[in-house]
Structures are given as structure tokens and as C-alpha cells.
Amino acid sequence: MSVQNQGVGEERNRSSASASAKKVPGQAPNGLLSRRERISVSELPELPSDDADLEASGEKLKEDGQTFFDMLEQSQKEVKFQEGEVVEGEVIQVGNDFITVDIGYKSEGQISTSEFYDQKGELLVAQNDHILVYIEKVEDDEGRLILSKEKADVLRAWDEISEACEKDELVEGTIVAKVKGGLSVDIGVKAFLPGSQVDIRPTKNLDQYIGKTFKFKIIKFNKKRGNIVLSRRLLLMEERARLKEQTLAQIEEGMVTEGVIKNLTEYGAFIDLGGLDGLLHITDMSWGRIKHPSEVFKVGDKVRVKVLKYDEEKERVSLGYKQLLPDPWDTVEQRYQVSNRVKGKVVSLTDYGAFVELEPGVEGLVHVSEMSWTQRVKHPSKLVNEGDVVEAVILDIDSGNRRISLGMKQIEPNPWDLLAEKYPVGSKVKGVVKNTTDFGIFVGVPEGVDGLVHVSDLSWDNKAIDPNTAFKKGDELECIVLSIDKAAEKFSLGVKQLSTDPWRAVAEKYPAGTRVKGKVTKIADFGLFLEIEPGVEGLLHVSELEGDGKPKDRLKTVAEGQEFDCMITSVDLKEHKLSLSVKAMSRAEERENMKTYAKQSASSSRASFGDLLGEQFAKLKEQGGEKKEGESESKGDGSGEGESGAKGESDGEPS
């Protein structure tokens, strides 16, 4: 800021001195008028009593050949005040509304008191203070001197800013408001700070800077347009480059250093180590589990960290905070033992189980299979939620791999131990249908265990019942305990076992060797299914059919509903299977015919014993040749023969 030349001030002082001399005879106040000292009071004549004489005598008062009035008039003419000048003045009165200032003019000027308050509302001026003021008008319409302190400050600030810009010096200012594209800064005048120049990295929250004072670099200055653009980023970058050089010279892996939290993200925190940023990953913040770095740190915190890894080429630094703290896993086996009961908070859920925090940094896993004795837990969320405090038993500790296996179900007695005692195999039990499937139904018993009734154990006639249609959830059902597998946690029940197996009567009614007549109900590649009586079927294997050609070709002539006379060759009570044979029945009939014929021949006297024996031998030989021929064809066709063949095929197919 420039002030008008010193001559203006000197002329103002001389004018003030003249005015003062007029009011108070004697020495001039503050020594402002040096000429006043050359006037000798003793040389002045005695003042007359009347006005006319007083005026006449006043004209005779001279100093260096001039009258006093000439000297006063000349002094006022020499001091010329111009509008637009900045001059110095003295505060002579401080009022509530106005501040009165004397600049050495014939009249004092007044300035609004509001121009002297700072941002905190404190008045910055007092009586007798010397201030710079701007002359707006020497005389207005009412003859008043109009002054302004604010405009004087602005002009002075512009001069100072202009000088700082020319010398590439820094300016200091206070951020006062947020404007479009950046911030408004008060550096004596309003200046603009673009958002991109606030910090090294773009900042979304500009409101945090309002009210703060910083130093800035002027990057654009235009006094005519009143345009000033500032940058704080350039200063920070210069300072950062200097600090970075120092940091790089001393950083090394394993060292412990101090930094300031610069930014927080979901995966970690960036720490300013002094011109160089290092990443403190969230997994290296605590031995315990944290969801966000803000749970441990906040921006601006000073922290001591350990350099875990330093990439000199890429200038990347990985930091650790928890590495400066004791590792709880080093002493975990001293605090926890297998079979101990512990309490912890559920901190995470996965498809396979729940992680329970026993203490900060020490977690155990409760697998879904260890959550309940009786329920088949598909997801841990069915039983627990994050934040729940649960009780569990330690099943295993692997400190080397930082693993602890926990079990929740072990807190309660094992119902499978009680089940075998209360429900021995063969005993009856009542339960409620919990679920139905294609392969059976699940029945819940009072002990909380679900037993399975397989579809094959619903009815002796397996084809007659569909579990999904025959039963529904909530049905009460009585069953027989078939088996209990504690290790596999399987409880097998049966419904059909409540009644007698009808096949026992079948086995008694149709023992092996019984001749029966059956109707074809189904034709398969390996044979025929014949219905002996309603609900009772048997298998007639293709190898047990009589006929010419290959065994499988014999099926081509058979139709459903066709009847066959055959013999039961075997009965499988467990599998509910009957094996049938046409050939076996034919052989049995041949043996019976031979016996009958032998009896009849023995009673006949027309034939000798040798003739009869020779005739029968010839027949048997002929039949034996046909049999071998049939067996040869059967073997070549890949089929078996006899009871064993029929049974073998029947074992592979349902009856």
C-alpha cells in the first residue's frame, strides 16, 4: 500500500499547527510547527480594547515581514487534499456510530464504526490512534469531509499484494467462505482459491477449511480486474518434496517411525511419513477383527508404525501397527485348553460356520456340524447372528495355524446317547412327520432327533405308496425302531414292520417245487414277470423258457396276459422274490412219467426187463442230445440256465 508523498503529511501538519495556534497562544502542540518558535511574544504590542483597533493592530503583527492572517491563509493554501488519496489521520473521538478523524483539513471527517470491527466483533481503534484513511470527497453537498478506512485498507493491500507477486513472496490469508469451484480467501482483499489448489489431493469436504489461516502462493494477479488466484497446493508440494527426500534417505524395512493419518479407506489408512505416504492395511491394524479403520484411527492422529515392506523402485511402503503390540496367539495355549467352556461374540458368519471372538485377536470357528445335535443346520444364521454372545466348548487348538475349533452342541447332553437307551431296536415310538421326500419321510421324536422312514419301509407293497401324497407335515405316526447309528447320527424307522410280512404266508404257501400258473404282467429283456395271485409276482427268466432258437428270441412270441405253467424254483423272503421255471416243471413231469411208465412196464409180462431198459435208455439219449443243443444255443446267446440263472437275473431286477 502506498501513502501520498511525505510533503502531503508535512503540509497537513503545518495546517494543523496554524489552526492550533489560532486557538491556543503560545507553543504549538506536539512541536508540529517549527516556525512557531520564531514568534516572540514580547515583541507583540498591547492589544487595544475595541474591535476596530484590534483588527488594525492585528494587521501590524508580523513575522519575517508578514501578518499572522497572511501566514494562516498561506498555510491553508499550501495543503491541498484530493479525492482518491490515502492520507494519515488521528482519531480524535470514538463514538457508537462514527469515528471522528482529523487529517489536518479545516474540518474533521467521520467514518462508520462498523469499518473498525474485526471478524470476532472486536473494535480495533482507540482515541489518539493514527490510521490511514481514504478521501472519498473533500466536501459533500453539506460541506462534510467524507473518509473511508476500508478503502484505504484495500488500496494498501493491493499495493502489498502487488509487491509480493513481483517478488514471488507468500501471502497469508483466512479462508472465509465456500464459493463455486473453490474457496474465498481474505488476504486484505478477497482472493479465489480453486478446489484443486487446496491440497495435494482433491478434497471433497471444503467446509473443513473455513475459518483456518494458511500461507498461499499467488498464481494469478490482475489489479485492474480485481482478480487474484491463490494456491496452497504448490506450497505443500514443495514442502513435501523436501521432506520426502529426507525420508527416503533414512527409511528401511523393520524400522519404527512416526506418521500422521492422512486418509482412511475401507481397506486401510494412508500415513504421511514426511513427504512419503505409507499404507497401513486394515489387517495390520489390530490382532483382532475390525470392520473399518475408523474404529481404530481418525484423520490427523499421530501413530507409531513399523515398516513391513519398502519398494524403493515404486516408492511404496507397507506399514504395520499391530506388529508393535504383543501377539495374543503366542500365549493362547496357556489361557485355553481343549474341553474348556468359553464365551465369545459372533463376529462373522460363513456358509460353513460362525467365527467367535474369544478375545481381541483370538477367534474360534464353530462349524455348522457342531452347532446342534438334532438340527441339520444349512447355514449358521438359522441359529446365531453377528453380535450374539454364545457359549461353546473348545474341541481343538492349533496355535501354529492360529485355529481353534469350537462346538456349541457339546454344551448340551448328546441326545443320541439317550436315544439308544430309551428306544432299543424293535421298540415302538410315536413321532410327528417333519418332512416328506421322494425317498421317504422324516419323523421327529420327543428327544429332538429326526428318524427316517425309507420308502421301502412304508408298506410291504412298495409300489402302492408315494410319501409326498400319503403323508403331510404334522401327521402323528407310530413306527418301529429299525437301527440307531450314533457315529453317523442316523435313526432308521419303519412303518410296515408294525404288521406281519405277507410274504411269510407266500413262502409257506408256495415253497420251492410248487407248480403254479401265472399270467404275464411285464416283459423285460431278461425274462417275464408272472402274477401268481393278486400282489404276488415271480420272475420267469428267459433261460427257463422252452422253445426253439435262441433264448431271447423266445420272448418275441410272448404277449402280456399270456399264461404259463411253471414251477417255483426258489423263494427269497427278504427280497420278496419268487424264481419260476418252465423247464424245471417239464423235467419234473418227465421224471414222474418215467416213474409211472416203469411201474406200468414192471407189471406187464410181454416185455422183459432188458427190453424195457433198452427202450428207456434210447429215449433218454435222444432227449439228452436235444438238451445239449439247447444249452449250446443258450450259452452262445449270453444267457444262463437253470435255477441259478433265474435267481441271478432276478436278483438284479425288482419283483
Q: What is the pLDDT of residues 469-506, one digit of tens each?
A: 888 888 888 999 999 888 787 889 998 888 877 777 78
Residue 421 has pLDDT above 60, yes or no: yes
Separation of alpha carbons 482 and 545, rounded Å: 40
CA angle 140, 141, 144 (to 5 degrees): 45
Render pLDDT for 83-113 as a digit per residue (tens, 0 to 9): 777 888 888 888 888 888 888 877 788 888 8
Copy the grid coordinates of residue 507. 413262502
| pLDDT of 632 | 43
**The pLDDT value given to residue 492:** 92
- Residue 17, pLDDT > 60, answer no
CA 201/CA 378 separation, integer angstroms: 48
pLDDT (0 to 100) of residue 68: 52
pLDDT tier at 287, thresholds 50, 70, 90: confident
Mean pLDDT of 13-25: 36
What's the whole-number average pLDDT of the chain? Answer: 77
The CATH number of 6-151 is 2.40.50.140
pLDDT of residue 376: 78
* Residue 198 DSSP code: S
Higher pLDDT, 137 or 438: 438
Q: Worst-scoring range by mean pLDDT, 7-16, 312-321, 391-400?
A: 7-16
Q: How far apart are CA 629 and CA 642, in angstroms?
A: 15
Whether residue 117 is predicted with pLDDT greater than 90 in this model: the reply is no
CATH fourth-level superfamily of 415-498? Nucleic acid-binding proteins (2.40.50.140)
CB atoms within 10 A of CB 63: 15
- pLDDT band for position 364 (50/70/90)? very high
What span, in angstroms and rounded, lies between the C-alpha atoms of 557 and 564?
A: 13
pLDDT interval class at 403 (50, 70, 90) = very high
Query: CATH 2.40.50.140 residue ranges in the chain?
Result: 6-151, 251-324, 328-411, 415-498
Tell me which long-range contacts 4-7 makes (C-beta under 8 A, separation of at least 24): 4/85, 4/86, 4/87
| pLDDT of 186 | 86
Kindly report, residue by residue over 562-579, the tens digit of the pLDDT: 888 899 888 887 777 889
Q: Which of 122-126, 317-321, 354-358 has the lowest mean pLDDT?
A: 122-126
C-alpha cell at 368: 455348522
- Read off the amino acid at residue 206: L
- Check residues 26 and 540 and name the one with the higher pLDDT: 540
| Domain 328-411 grouped into CATH 3.40.50.12500 | no
* Range scoring the smallest mean pLDDT among 214-223, 344-353, 449-458, 596-605: 596-605
Residues with Cβ within 8 Å of 324's Cβ and at least 6 positions away in sequence, in order, are 256, 304, 305, 306
C-alpha cell at 154: 484495500
Q: What is the pLDDT of residue 5?
A: 34
pLDDT at 9 over 50: no
pLDDT-derived band at 18 (thresholds 50, 70, 90) equals very low
Q: How far is CA 397 from CA 336, 363, 438, 515, in A?
A: 8, 11, 42, 70
pTM over the 0.75 mark: no
Q: Which long-range contacts (CB under 8 A, 24 or more apart) does 529-533 make?
A: 529/655, 530/564, 530/566, 530/580, 532/578
CATH number of 251-324: 2.40.50.140
Amino acid of residue 654: P
Q: 384-422: buried (b, 16+ CB within 10 Å) or exposed (e) per residue?
A: beeeeebebbbbebeeeeeebbbbbbbeeeebbeebeee
